Amino acid sequence: MGKPTGFLQFDREVAADRPADERIRDWDEFHAGLDETSLRQQGARCMDCGTPFCHLGQALPPGGPAAGCPLGNYIPEWNDLVYRGLWREALERLHQTSNFPEFTGRVCPAPCEGSCVLGAQAPAVTIKSIECAIVDRGFAEGWIVPEPPPRRTGRNVAVVGSGPAGLACAAQLNRAGHRVTVYERADRPGGLLMYGIPSMKLEKRLVQRRVDLLAAEGVRFATHTEVGVQVTADQLRAQYDAVVLCVGATRPRDLAVPGRDLAGIHQAIEFLHGNTRHLLDGAVGSPPVSAHGRQVVILGGGDTGTDCVATAIRHGCSSVAQFDIIPAPLAQRAADNPWPQWPRVARTDYGQEEAIAVFGADPRQYLLSTVRFSGDAAGRVSQVHTVRVEWGPGPDGRPFREVPGSEQAFSADLVLLSMGWLGPESPLLEQFGVARDRRSNVEAEFGRFATNVPGVFAAGDARRGASLVVWALAEGRGAAREVDHYLMGNTDLP
């Protein structure tokens, strides 16, 4: 710790995002960076605590929610190195625990900052911005180059799915000298990094840059290849010494209410995937689902819903609303959500900021349940019908009650369903015969990642359910370590 008084001398500083009314005119990233002086001052705010909760990544209390960085990033160490201007050393330290900090440095909700010890009584250290600056500098300086393994083991591993879990797993297994082939059903690798998270949060050239690095290190990518359809589970098992299933939890929850089959009602991921693909393919004509001139209603108040708000605004929608069935989050931590847990508090995310800039109001409304859709003569949705709810056991066994007489109708000619995920969707799980857990995810113990089928492992959203990029990276790395041990009888992978 180079600056014992840093946290007393310097206030927390976060880079201002590009102004909302400017950034909605393009698809470029909205994040901006801090200059070097500010970054070094922010690094100096780290107190190098005896117990740095920021990098623990463990459940606190045991069995409770995880606190800190799931990757166990050595945060106090690289904060200090940045303070001292030792950027290359900071990058080496960062890469020891994270394969792709340029992704988490942009899209991670930063549970580390929620458990920063300084954050218990003052604004937390700006850990995520420092992480992003370290890796961006590494690329700018040319320090990040392909590093193929010095020798090969002669073992072959198939990784199914190229999201962050699959990419991290492939990177680690390749580093250990195994021959890795990543199968991906989409046209481009990256999973939700490529086709879920929109470009303004994570530019796709950054995803492709890492994929290219992995390819240069010897990882093979087989795109347009759905395992279970184009290639069978039996073929993979015959060809490879181990298989890792990183197929995500991409089955979206639907809403079985009257009018669901009207035109103009789509799953959020269909809207977001189609839009990114349209941009990557040259943006000729309209995206497959366009919000241009539409009155848009998004059902679901989470991050995917926010990405839909921001995308609809860039399309030029005429209005946008975002409904959630849950109550609005609290302004401050609740008593059952103490530090160092991730604070479940109200935030205004980038999409809502943009809606306020364009339409003058926050698009979110809480405690609304959609009961039906009605349409026009052409069969297109024209209204969303809702009732207000109160939380608490309802007469029908649901955890909420509908408020009598609270029916409302909202005009809408584009409805996007963003109501969460129901687990993996691929037929290959049945082909492999892997067991599922109660939530229909692949059953494999965290830390071991082995399924009930010998030689078949699972990691990421497919195993833990829809989660975060940082957890996918942590799981992919953990699964690689277990596979290496399975193949070689021991492992040096972290």
Interface positions with ligand FAD (CB under 6 A):
107-108, 160-166, 183-186, 191-192, 196-197, 201, 226-228, 246-248, 250, 269, 272, 303-304, 307, 426, 428, 460-462, 466-470, 472
In this complex, which beta carbon is closest to ligand SF4, that of residue 69 or of residue 173?
Answer: 69
In whole angstroms, the minimum distance from the beta carbon of 69 to ligand SF4 comes to 3
Q: Within 373-459, where are the H helices?
A: 428-432
Q: Which is nearer to ligand SF4, 417 or 470 (CB)?
A: 470
Give me the least distance between CB of 143 and ligand SF4, in Å please.
19
Binding-site member from 80, 131, 413, 475 for ligand SF4 (CB under 6 A): 131
* Distance, CA of 23 to CA of 10 (rounded, Å): 30
Q: Which of 60, 77, 41, 164 is nearest to 114 (CA)?
A: 60
For CA atoms 83, 88, 92, 98, the dihedral sign is positive
Per DSSP bridges, beta strands 400-402 and 381-391 are antiparallel
Strand ordering across the sheet containing 179-183: 220-222, 179-183, 156-160, 242-245, 456-458
Q: Which is nearer to ligand FAD, 24 or 428 (CB)?
A: 428
Choose from ligand SF4, ligand FAD, none: what does 162 bind? Cβ within 5-8 Å by kind: ligand FAD
Rounded CA gap, 279 and 332, in Å? 39
Region from 30-38, 125-133, 206-214, 347-355 binding ligand SF4, contact rule CB under 6 A:
125-133
* Preceding peptide of 109 cis, ω within 30°: no
Residue 417 φ/ψ, nearest 5 degrees = -95, 120
Of 34, 56, 69, 242, which lies in the binding site for ligand SF4, with binding defined by CB under 6 A?
69
Stretch that binds ligand SF4, among 33-41, 127-135, 413-421, 478-486 (CB under 6 A): 127-135
Q: Quickly tell me which residue has 């990405």 as its tokens.
A: 307
417 contacts which partner out of ligand FAD, ligand SF4, none, CB within 5 to 8 A by kind? Answer: none
Q: Which does 467 bind (CB under 5 to 8 A by kind): ligand FAD, ligand SF4, none?
A: ligand FAD
The neighbour count for residue 181, using CB atoms within 10 Å, is: 18
**Which of ligand SF4, ligand FAD, none binds 166 (CB below 5-8 Å, type-dependent)?**
ligand FAD
CA dist 333 and 467 (Å) reads 21
Task: Write the binding mask 452 to 491 for ligand SF4: x where contact by CB under 6 A, - elsewhere.
Answer: ------------------x---------------------
Q: Please, which residues have CB within 8 angstroms of residue 122's CB and are 6 or more apart in sequence?
A: 7, 12
Picking from 382, 231, 397, the residue whose alpha carbon sits closest to that of residue 297 is 382
Q: What is the DSSP letter of 147?
A: -
Candidates 81, 110, 450, 462: give the one binding ligand SF4 (CB under 6 A): 110
Q: For ligand SF4, which is the closer residue by CB, 105 or 259? A: 105
81 is a contact residue toward ligand SF4 (CB under 6 A): no
What residues contact residue 423 under an 8 Å CB cut-off, 6+ apart? Answer: 249, 251, 436, 439, 440, 441, 462, 465
Binding of ligand SF4 at residue 127 (CB under 6 A)? Answer: yes
Contacted by 107, from ligand FAD, ligand SF4, none: CB < 5 to 8 Å by type? ligand FAD
What are the tokens at 144?
A: 């990040």
- Tell me which residue of 340, 362, 299 sits closest to 112, measured CA to CA: 340
Residue 381's binding partner among ligand FAD, ligand SF4, none (Cβ under 5 to 8 angstroms by kind) is none
Among 56, 108, 167, 168, binds ligand SF4 (CB under 6 A): 108
Would you say 115 or 382 has its CB closer to ligand FAD? Answer: 115
Of 112 and 325, which has the nearer Cβ to ligand SF4? Answer: 112
Confirm or reject binding of residue 104 to ligand SF4 (CB under 6 A).
Answer: yes
Write the CA distances from 234 to 240, 282, 431, integer angstroms: 10, 38, 8
Residue 212, contacted partner among ligand SF4, ligand FAD, none, CB below 5-8 A by kind: none
Binding site residues, ligand SF4, CB under 6 A? 69, 71, 73, 75, 104, 108, 110-112, 127-128, 131, 470
